[in-house]
Structure 1
Amino acid sequence: MLDKPAPAGRSLYYGGEWRHPISGRYAATSNPGLDEPIAEVAEAGASDVDAAVKSARQAFLSWRGVAPLERARLLKEVAAVVRANARELAALDAANCGNPVREMMGDATIAAAQLDYFAGLVTEMKGETIPMGPDVINMTLRQPLGVVARILAFNHPFMFCAGKIAAPLAAGNAVIVKPPEQAPLSSLRLAELVQDILPRGLFSVLPGGREAGAALASHPGVDKIAIIGSVGAGRAVMKAASDTIKPVLLELGGKNALIAFPDADPATVASAVIGGMNFTWCGQSCGSTSRAFVHRDIYEDVLSRLPSLAGHYVPGLPTDDRTTMGAIISRQQHARVLEYIASAKEQGARLITGGAAPTDPALTKGFYVEPTIFADVTPAMRIAREEIFGPVLAVLPWDDETTMLGQVNEVEYGLTCSIWTNDLRKAHRTALAVEAGFVWVNEVSKHFLGAPFGGWKQSGLGREECLGELLAFTQEKNVHVSLRGG
C-alpha cells in the first residue's frame, strides 16, 4: 500500500527552488482507484513558464560547457537514485495514475536504464569531416539546442519524466517537464530526489494544464518541445510551436493492428492478442494492439481461448501488490470507455468477455472496467477505427491478404504492428506493407532500448529510445577552415 501520500514539494520547481505559482492557483490531484483527492498541487500559468524558461536558459549556458563525460556521470547518479527509490516512486504512480504498483516498479527500472543508456552515448554526438583538398578542413559539429520542454502523458508518469529527460540532458540542454495534469506527483518527487545532484535550474517541473502546455509550446525561449499524448494534443503543440519555428518531437496515439496468419499456432496467437492489449494498465497505452486481425482458419480457435487468458487481469486497488489490472485515469475517461462498449454492442459486435464495470464492492468508488473483447468486428465500427485508450479489444476475421492489409492501413494512425506467422516470406512482405513505425514479428508489446520507437502518419514525428533521440536534441553546425593563412 502507499506509505507516503504525496511528496513534500507540491509547488513549482525551477531555478533549483520550490516556488508558489504567480496566480496562486492550486488544484487537487486524485487517486482514480478510489476517486479520492490525494493532495493540492500548483498550477503553472504563462508567467510561471516565462520565469522558468529564463532560469533554464541561465543553467543551459553553464551546462553546455560541461564535459560530456561529466554530464554522463551526473545522469548515472540520477539513475542510481531512481533505483534506490523505486518502491516509493511506483507507489506514488499507482495511487495517482491507477496503474498497479507491481508494474510501476518496472517503470522505475526502465527509467533508470534509459538514464544509463543515454549517459553512455554522450561521446557519440559526433560530427564528420568533408574532404576538400590539402589546404582546407571542413567539418561538422553537434551542439545542444538550449531549453527543451517535454509534455508528458498520464499512463506512465514517472517513467516518462525520468526517462525522457535523459537524452536532452546528455546532449547538453536544460529541460522543463510539464507532468501530466492528472498525475503529477512522481515528477515532483523526482525533483526532490535530484535537486542536490543536477545544477540549479537545469531541470524544472511545472505541473499544470493547457495554459502551461500552450505557453511552453509557444515560448520563444524554448528551443524544442516534445510531447507524449493524443493526436489532438500533438496538433495543438505543433501549431503553437510554428510561431517560433521550433522543432517538435511527437509521440502520439495509435490504433494498432495484430495480424495472425493461418499457419500461426492458435494458442500462441491468443496469448499475443491478450498480451498486446496491455490490460494491466487498462489498455491505456498508445502501443496497444487493439485491433486483432485473425485469419478465419484459426479465428474461432483463437477466440475460444481469449476469455480464460483475459481472466488473469482482474481489476483491483492499484496500491495492492496483488492487483493485476488497475483503474482508468478519470471519471471522464471511464465514461468514454463505457460509451465505446455500448456503441460496439449497438453496431453488432459479439461480446466475448467483459463489457462492464466490475461488481466488487471494494471497487465501487473507483474507475474500473473489466477486460473487454469483441469479436466479429467490422472495419466500419467505431471500436475498429478510433483510439479508445481503454481495455477494449476488437477482433476482426480475414480471408484475403490484400483486403486485410488495406483495412490495417486505412486508419489515420501508424504506431505499432504485430505480425504472427511461421513463413519468413509472409513476415517480411507484411512488415514492408504495414504503415507503422515499429513492427514486431512473432512478438508484441515490448520495447528494446537502442531500437528506434516512433510512429508514421498521425502517430507522431521523430524517434525515441535510441541514438536518434539523442541527436534530435542537438543541432548541426558546419565549420570551414582554410589553412592558407590570413
Structure 2
Amino acid sequence: MEYITCPMLIGGELTYGSGGEWIESIDPSTEEPLGRAPAGTAGDVNAAVAAAKSAQHAWAETTIWERRDMLRQLAAAVRERAEDVARLEAADGGNTIANLGNDLFKSANQFEYFAGLISEIKGETMNTLSSGMHMSWRVPYGVVGRIVPFNHPFMFATASCAAPLAAGNCVVLKTPETSPLSAGIFAEICARVLPAGVVNIVSGYGLPVGDTIARHADVRRIGFTGSVRTGLAIQRAAAESAIKHVTLELGGKNPLIVFPDADPVKAADAAIAGMNFAWAGQSCGSTSRVLVHESLRAKVTERLVERMQAIRVGNASDPASDMGPLNSAAHRDRVQALVDIGKREATLLMGGNRPEGAQFDRGFFMAPTLFTDVTADMTIAREEAFGPVITIQSWTDEDAMIAMANGTEFGLTASLFTNDITKALRTAAAVESGVTNINGARMHFVGAPFGGIRNSGLGGEECLEELLSYTETRSVHITL
C-alpha cells in the first residue's frame, strides 16, 4: 500500500495543521510504516472550534429536511468509499478485512437512521389556562466535541457525528492517534458534502488535542468513547471551563451467564461471537467472562477450546484471517501484562502469548487466550483486558452468581442463557448492566439505547435518546 499522508479538516479546508509535527501510523500486522497524520496542536483545536462556532448558526437555521438530505448524502458517500476504507482500516488498525463490511454498513446506517428520525426533534405545548399557553423548544447546543477510540476508527468517527448533525450542531472530532488514517477519507467526504465548518476533524494526541476539546469553553456538549480512566479525565477537564453535557461510552467486563438448563454448545458459541475475535477482542461489549453453572462447566469449556483453536490468526489484510493483531505495541504490552498476572492466579488452558510460527515474530499478535479456575477476587476477573482473553468462572448458587456478575466496576452488557423465562427476567433485573441479552450476545438494535451504567458510562446511543441528548430544552410562555 502506498504511504499515506492524512489531512485534517478545519473550516472546510483539508490541512496539515500548524504544528509541523506528525504521528506515524504503523501497520500492526507487519510493524511497517503505513502513513502519517498531523500531530494537532491546541491552536488547531481552537481554529476548529472557531470554524464550528462560525458555521453553527447557519447550520441550525437549515430546515430539518435539508439536514436530512445531507445526512443521506453522507451515507451514500460512505458506501462509495467502502472498499477504500476497508483496505486502509485493516492495515491501519488491525481489524480483519473480511469483517469490516459490517463497520461500513453501520457507518452509513447511522446517518440514514438519524436522517429518518430527524422530525422527532419535538417540543411540547401545555394549555393550562385560558389566558396563556406554555411550550418547550428543543435547540442545538452549538459546538459538540467528539473523541473516538482506535478499535472501530471509521465507524465511530462517522456514527459519532450523525446525531449531533441531525440536531443542528457543528462538530469538532478528534481521531485516535494509533489508527488515524481512515479519518482522512471521512474528511474528504465531509469537505465535499457539508458546508464549511460543520464538521471539523483534528488528529493528534490526548494532550493537547483531546484535553483542549474537553476544556474549551465554546464546546458545551462532549461525547467520548474509550477507557474509564480517560472518561474520568474528560469529566474533570470539561468541568473546569463551563457547565457541560458529557456522555461517556466506556469499558466493560461483560458476563455471559450459563444456567444448568441451557444448551452448552449454543452458549459457548455465543461467547465466541460475543468476544468479537475479528477485532482481537478489542470491543467494549466483548463477552470476556463466562459464568457457567458447575454442571455444564466441562461441556462449555470443551466447546470454547474447540472454537478458539479453530480461529485463524493472521495478517488483518488477508481475507482468510479470522483474527488480526492487537492495535499497537503499547496495547499488546498492556494486554500481555494482564495475561501474565492471570497465569499466576488461574489455570491457563490455551494461548497467553504470541501464536506459534515465524510469521508472528513481527506484528502485535496474541493468540486467543482462555483461563479457567478463575475466582471473583482475581485481577484477571476484574480488569478489562480489551484483548482476545476469556475467563471461565463456575457457580452453583444463584445469589452468589449474581454477586459475581456484579463484582466489577463495570456495567455495560450482560448475556444469559436459560429456557426459563421467569429466571431469565429475574436475572436480567438483578444484573447491573446497561444492555442485557437473553439467549444471545453482542446484540445491537438500532432504536434501543446502547450504553453502560456504573463506570461503563453515561447516556444511551443509537436511539431517539441520543438524538435528543444533542439538544437543550427551552420553555416559552405566552400570555393571551
When normalised by structure 1's length, the TM-score is 0.97
User: What residue in structure 2 maps to residue 172 of structure 1?
Assistant: 168
Report if aligned partners of 2:9, 2:191 keep a CA contact under 8 Å in 1.
no
1:253-402 mapped onto 2 (5 Å cutoff): 253-347=251-345, 349-402=346-399
User: What residue in structure 2 maps to residue 414 of structure 1?
Assistant: 411
User: What residue in structure 2 maps to residue 481 of structure 1?
Assistant: 478
User: What residue in structure 2 maps to residue 226 of structure 1?
Assistant: 223
User: What residue in structure 2 maps to residue 67 of structure 1?
Assistant: 63
The amino acid across from 2:165 in the alignment is L
Report if aligned partners of 2:14, 2:187 keep a CA contact under 8 Å in 1.
no
Q: Does 1:97 align with 2:97?
A: no
Report if aligned partners of 1:415, 1:454 keep a CA contact under 8 Å in 2.
yes
In structure 2, C-alpha distance between the alignment counterparts of 1:60 and 1:431, rounded to whole Å: 42
Q: Deviations over 1:349-370 (max 9, x none)?
A: 2222222201232232101111
In structure 2, C-alpha distance between the alignment counterparts of 1:160 and 1:362, rounded to whole Å: 31
Report if aligned partners of 2:36, 2:181 keep a CA contact under 8 Å in 1.
no
Shift of 1:5: 4.8
In structure 2, C-alpha distance between the alignment counterparts of 1:295 and 1:469, rounded to whole Å: 37
In structure 1, C-alpha distance between the alignment counterparts of 2:264 and 2:407, rounded to whole Å: 26
Report if aligned partners of 1:148, 1:174 keep a CA contact under 8 Å in 2.
yes
Aligned residues: CA RMSD: 1.1
5+ residue gaps, structure 2, are none
In structure 1, C-alpha distance between the alignment counterparts of 2:315 and 2:55, rounded to whole Å: 41
Choose the corresponding residue for 2:243, options 231, 245, 263: 245
| SS at structure 2 position matched to 1:204 | strand
In structure 2, C-alpha distance between the alignment counterparts of 1:11 and 1:382, rounded to whole Å: 41
User: What residue in structure 1 maps to residue 136 of structure 2?
Assistant: 140
| SS at structure 2 position matched to 1:276 | helix
| SS at structure 2 position matched to 1:18 | strand
In structure 2, C-alpha distance between the alignment counterparts of 1:131 and 1:376, rounded to whole Å: 64
Q: Does 1:196 align with 2:170?
A: no
In structure 1, C-alpha distance between the alignment counterparts of 2:82 and 2:361, rounded to whole Å: 29
In structure 1, C-alpha distance between the alignment counterparts of 2:275 and 2:36, rounded to whole Å: 33
Shift of 1:4: 5.5
Q: Deviations over 1:194-239 (max 9, x none)?
A: 3121000111110001110000000011111111000000001000
User: What residue in structure 2 maps to residue 431 of structure 1?
Assistant: 428
Shift of 1:343: 1.4
Shift of 1:280: 1.5
User: What residue in structure 2 maps to residue 19 of structure 1?
Assistant: 15
In structure 2, C-alpha distance between the alignment counterparts of 1:444 and 1:172, rounded to whole Å: 34
The amino acid across from 1:120 in the alignment is G
The amino acid across from 2:440 in the alignment is E
In structure 2, C-alpha distance between the alignment counterparts of 1:338 and 1:236, rounded to whole Å: 25
User: What residue in structure 1 maps to residue 182 of structure 2?
Assistant: 186
Q: Deviations over 1:355-393 (max 9, x none)?
A: 220123223210111111111111111110001111110
Q: Does 1:111 align with 2:107?
A: yes
In structure 2, C-alpha distance between the alignment counterparts of 1:390 and 1:155, rounded to whole Å: 11
In structure 1, C-alpha distance between the alignment counterparts of 2:348 and 2:274, rounded to whole Å: 19
The amino acid across from 2:306 in the alignment is S
Report if aligned partners of 2:103, 2:152 keep a CA contact under 8 Å in 1.
yes
Q: Deviations over 1:140-165 (max 9, x none)?
A: 11011100010001000000011111
User: What residue in structure 1 maps to residue 445 of structure 2?
Assistant: 448
Q: Which moved more, 1:375-384 or 1:351-360?
A: 351-360
Shift of 1:17: 0.5
Percent identity over paired residues: 44
Shift of 1:87: 1.1
In structure 2, C-alpha distance between the alignment counterparts of 1:284 and 1:35, rounded to whole Å: 19
In structure 1, C-alpha distance between the alignment counterparts of 2:311 and 2:278, rounded to whole Å: 7
Report if aligned partners of 1:143, 1:476 keep a CA contact under 8 Å in 2.
yes
How many residue pairs are counted as aligned between the two chains?
Answer: 478
The amino acid across from 2:187 in the alignment is A
1:154-165 mapped onto 2 (5 Å cutoff): 154-165=150-161
Report if aligned partners of 2:14, 2:188 keep a CA contact under 8 Å in 1.
no
The amino acid across from 2:245 in the alignment is P
Report if aligned partners of 2:23, 2:177 keep a CA contact under 8 Å in 1.
no
| SS at structure 1 position matched to 2:320 | coil
When normalised by structure 2's length, the TM-score is 0.98
The amino acid across from 1:464 in the alignment is E
The amino acid across from 1:14 in the alignment is I
Q: Which moved more, 1:332-341 or 1:111-120?
A: 332-341
Shift of 1:473: 0.3
| SS at structure 2 position matched to 1:216 | helix
In structure 2, C-alpha distance between the alignment counterparts of 1:250 and 1:5, rounded to whole Å: 34
In structure 2, C-alpha distance between the alignment counterparts of 1:313 and 1:64, rounded to whole Å: 49
In structure 2, C-alpha distance between the alignment counterparts of 1:268 and 1:81, rounded to whole Å: 39
In structure 2, C-alpha distance between the alignment counterparts of 1:398 and 1:447, rounded to whole Å: 28
| SS at structure 1 position matched to 2:61 | coil
Report if aligned partners of 2:277, 2:323 keep a CA contact under 8 Å in 1.
yes
Report if aligned partners of 2:354, 2:360 keep a CA contact under 8 Å in 1.
no
Report if aligned partners of 1:5, 1:92 keep a CA contact under 8 Å in 2.
no
Q: Which moved more, 1:80-89 or 1:147-156?
A: 80-89
Q: Deviations over 1:385-412 (max 9, x none)?
A: 0011111100000000001111111211
Report if aligned partners of 2:312, 2:320 keep a CA contact under 8 Å in 1.
no
Choose the corresponding residue for 1:120, options 112, 116, 119: 116
Report if aligned partners of 1:280, 1:313 keep a CA contact under 8 Å in 2.
no
The amino acid across from 2:101 in the alignment is M
Q: Deviations over 1:64-101 (max 9, x none)?
A: 00000110100001101111211111111111110101
Q: Deviations over 1:160-182 (max 9, x none)?
A: 01111100000000011101111
In structure 1, C-alpha distance between the alignment counterparts of 2:320 and 2:130, rounded to whole Å: 69
Choose the corresponding residue for 1:236, options 219, 233, 250: 233
Choose the corresponding residue for 1:55, options 21, 31, 51: 51
Report if aligned partners of 2:174, 2:202 keep a CA contact under 8 Å in 1.
yes
Report if aligned partners of 1:258, 1:418 keep a CA contact under 8 Å in 2.
yes
